[in-house]
A and B are shown apart, each in its own frame.
Chain A
Amino acid sequence: MTEGINKPVIDRIIRVDHAGEYGANRIYAGQMAVLGRSAVGPVIQQMWNQEKNHLKKFNELMVAYRVRPTVLLPFWNVAGFVLGAGSALLGKKGAMACTVAVEESISEHYNNQIRTLIEEDPEKYKELLQVIKQFRDEEQEHHDIGLEHDAEAVSRILGWGSWRSRK
């Protein structure tokens, strides 16, 4: 699996994605610590479980491609939890807004990686592309769930969006 691939590019992709999923895990953990017993708890729990799956997959890829993990893992450990707990302390809206923002940037990030890999060689990286595409779709789902539960933000975004389109 590791022959003939562009090692530096793949290394970086897997390392960054692993760090991202690890951070996302910690964010949801922080949110659950505060809002776990509230009405929105099960929703967060379900999103968290999907992130756990993502992290597991990247752990496997990391071993398969012999990629080193990022040095900043302990930092993401703390920072993620603090961000999640902090946003959850602002209430359900805060937690959902945080989710929306994070998932949006993660989706964009995955899209960039998909573009990079397709530019390199879509055939060679078929499996990796599949994984990233699937994860990107699931992150997009989380983003939409966050929007659903954050109706105020939705109406604001829609308003801004229609103002932009009028321009």
Chain B
Amino acid sequence: MIVTVLSNPNHSRAVNCSLQRQHSQLPAGPARSGSQRPGNAPAARDAPAAQGCGPTAVVRCQQYPPLRALQASAALRGASDEHKKEPWASSSQQHFDSPPAGHQPEQKPQGPHPSYTGQGGQESEDYESEEQLQHRILTAALEFVPEHGWTAEAIAEGAKTLGLSVAAAGLFHSDGSELILHFVSECNTKLSELLKKEQKLVQLGEAEKKPIDEFLRDAVEARLRMLIPYIEKWPQALSVLLLPRNIPSSLNLLTSMIDDIWHYAGDQSTDFNWYTRRAVLTAIYNTTELVMMQDSSPGFEDTWRFLENRVADAMTMSNTATQVQSTGEAVVQGLMGAAVTIKNLAGLNQRR
């Protein structure tokens, strides 16, 4: 969580709309929620600068030690631009100013990107939100993870490739939590898209519908294969994901991934099966992931064999459960039939 707004009510600072100097002025249309219309820099200095920027906006003010963020953001910009912030009474989404001159003037934001909690920011064309910037830094940082691990160093290197100062790593926690969560979220998104594509092929009749065990196996394998480039440092990532601070987010990501897999597998249960299926698949996924950490066989074939066996076990269990249930029902019916027969024989069923 990064602070972008320094709420310092004693200073009458206004939002720096110097972005304008590098981009064409946005049309003064109705402000979309979450976007900010740039006011003129001089106008923004006035107290009623709220009118200079969009009337509707969404606030994301996160409280953090202001000093750290100040240093980080100042270092980030590195320019001599005077950056003024104004405490918004209502919500407003702050945008990061464009990075210093060394960076390309082209600031094409790549559309709404999900942060690791899956919330996208709605941005107008020329603006890059803080979330998008973080997203870009983290994506760039992934390349350096095999070398530096899930650390601030990797983030710093990533920031460097984007032309930002290494102090950008100060935007994130030192244990690499955001980087890992970002990575997991990206992998889950990739998996969703893969499954959706496959589903479309089946719907168009261009592919055969896979039996459930094969589908689950392939989905889990596809997802775990995304870890392969980072497998050396993944145990470290797993331990970070288990930090109490990260557990809500990581649990959320895990459950939504498992739910996605079952959804595309065609699960339509509306009873307690919904829970048992997801619990079983979660167990399969987690154990296979752990096996993968220890696996040194070529191409991880041991892991895939383990996965196959676990999925087969699960199928067997569910078949057994169904069989037990139908056997039980048959037995009960047999007993009822026997009871009625005996009553008939004993003449207890006759009407008098």
A residues in contact (CB < 8 Å) with B: 18, 58-59, 62-63, 66, 68-69, 71, 73-74
Q: How far is the CB of A56 from chain B (nearest CB, A)?
A: 10
> Which chain A residues border B268 with CB–CB below 8 Å?
63
Whose C-beta in chain A lies nearest to the C-beta of B267? A63
1/0 contact trace for B261-304 toward A, CB 8 Å? 00100001111101100000000000000000000000000000
Cross-chain contact B263 with A69 (CB below 8 angstroms): no
- 14 more CB-based (< 8 A) A-B contacts, given A68-B259, A71-B275: A18-B270, A59-B270, A62-B270, A63-B268, A66-B263, A68-B274, A69-B269, A69-B270, A69-B271, A69-B272, A69-B274, A73-B271, A73-B272, A74-B272
**Contacting A63 at CB < 8 Å: which of B270, B272, B275?**
B270
Q: How far is the CB of A80 from chain B (nearest CB, A)?
A: 14
> Which chain B residues border A66 with CB–CB below 8 Å?
259, 263
Distance between Cα atoms of A101 and B270 in the complex (Å): 27
Interface secondary structure of A, over-half rule: helix
Distance between Cα atoms of A50 and B269 in the complex (Å): 21
A-B contact pairs, 19 of them (CB 8 A): A18-B270, A58-B270, A59-B270, A62-B270, A63-B268, A63-B270, A66-B259, A66-B263, A68-B259, A68-B274, A69-B270, A69-B271, A69-B272, A69-B274, A69-B275, A71-B275, A73-B271, A73-B272, A74-B272
1/0 contact trace for B209-252 toward A, CB 8 Å? 00000000000000000000000000000000000000000000
Whose C-beta in chain A lies nearest to the C-beta of B274? A69
Q: Which 6 A-B pairs have the closest CB atoms?
A: A59-B270, A63-B268, A62-B270, A69-B274, A69-B270, A73-B272
> Which chain A residues border B272 with CB–CB below 8 Å?
69, 73-74
Whose C-beta in chain B lies nearest to the C-beta of A63? B268
Distance between Cα atoms of A59 and B259 in the complex (Å): 17
Distance between Cα atoms of A96 and B269 in the complex (Å): 33
Q: How far is the CB of B282 from chain A (nearest CB, A)?
A: 14
> Which chain A residues border B275 with CB–CB below 8 Å?
69, 71
Q: How far is the CB of A36 from chain B (nearest CB, A)?
A: 16
Distance between Cα atoms of A38 and B263 in the complex (Å): 45
Whose C-beta in chain A lies nearest to the C-beta of B278? A68
Distance between Cα atoms of A157 and B325 in the complex (Å): 47
> Which chain A residues border B270 with CB–CB below 8 Å?
18, 58-59, 62-63, 69
Whose C-beta in chain A lies nearest to the C-beta of B273? A69
Q: How far is the CB of A22 from chain B (nearest CB, A)?
A: 8
Distance between Cα atoms of A2 and B268 in the complex (Å): 16
> Which chain B residues border A68 with CB–CB below 8 Å?
259, 274
> Which chain A residues border B271 with CB–CB below 8 Å?
69, 73
Q: How far is the CB of A12 from chain B (nearest CB, A)?
A: 16
> Which chain B residues border A73 with CB–CB below 8 Å?
271-272
Q: How far is the CB of A127 from chain B (nearest CB, A)?
A: 19
Distance between Cα atoms of A71 and B274 in the complex (Å): 9
Q: How far is the CB of A42 from chain B (nearest CB, A)?
A: 22
* Most A Cβ at <10 Å: residue of B263, B270, B275: B270
Within 8 A of A (CB), among B20-79: none
Distance between Cα atoms of A59 and B271 in the complex (Å): 9
* Most B Cβ at <10 Å: residue of A59, A68, A74: A68
Distance between Cα atoms of A133 and B269 in the complex (Å): 25
> Which chain B residues border A63 with CB–CB below 8 Å?
268, 270
